[in-house]
Amino acid sequence: MTAPPGREDDLPVVLELLDLERVDGGAGPDGTERFVGRHPERTTFSRTFGGQLLAQSLMAAGRTVDGDRYVHSAQTHFIRGGDKRRDLDFTVARLRDGRGFANRRVDVTQDGALVCTMLAAFSGPADGLEHGRALPQVPPPEGLPVFDEALRGYEDPLAVFSGALHPIDLRYAHDPPWVQKGTGEARTENHVWMRPAGEFPDDPHLHAALLAYASDMTVLDTILTRHGLSWGIDRVLAATLNHSLWFHRPARFDRWLLYASTSPVAAGSRGTGTGTFFAPDGTTQASVVQEGVVRYFAPRAPSGT
């Protein structure tokens, strides 16, 4: 895998963020284990990116799980925005180590204040019934524009995106929200091909962490696109409240995955986005549900009208 032009250094930066520093070399007297995570030097976000918190939390939890178990679910509640100028403390509690399953809780804090908390469950391989959804019929990723090309002409209103790290190679299978905005159309489903923007070690925890990072991208798009709105162009405030992620199989993110998302409901200044990751052969890899605060400030009518 090769990174899009000009983005060769972005994935290595995120991989370094996921290499958490273990504190005290092992479990503390209460059985918890602690790690320290850092922020990238370059970021356009005012607070810690939620995908970073998801990925780092999964790495912390995975470092405490033995054997060939892989994460199969992770539910995260975001309590407050992280301060991107300070390190993050990750405390992992071993809730259970059974024969088939292991459960962990990860609390992320700064100066003792809780930023978010994750409940993660791990299990080993097992046989059983299988079924899934059909792969949506969309163009293949190879002929689609890379993200920076899709942003061309919109760099100023979407500076928070254009200047951000892009460790994931994103390719919209249709017009992205800011282009759709100009067509006057509405879209109830979004389809984006994704893969890491470069090579990375074949560590199962890294595969899961990078997929978690990617799962926080574009999942809330359809809250806006079904109303014909766009990030950066319309006055929209958004913040993630909670994020649930299920891995139906051991995560493999060394290939293109199609992220298909929609929004079943928005009400009370909150919206919910749901997403599914498909492998090119149609195998369902992971499912996502995310709730966020989404506030739209309609343009004021001209005075005197």
Active-site residue list: 216, 240, 290
> What does the alpha-carbon distance between residue 50 and residue 82 come to, in Å, rounded to a whole number?
9
> What does the alpha-carbon distance between residue 177 and residue 184 come to, in Å, rounded to a whole number?
11
> What does the alpha-carbon distance between residue 11 and residue 40 come to, in Å, rounded to a whole number?
11
Residue that the structure tokens 């014909």 belong to: 228
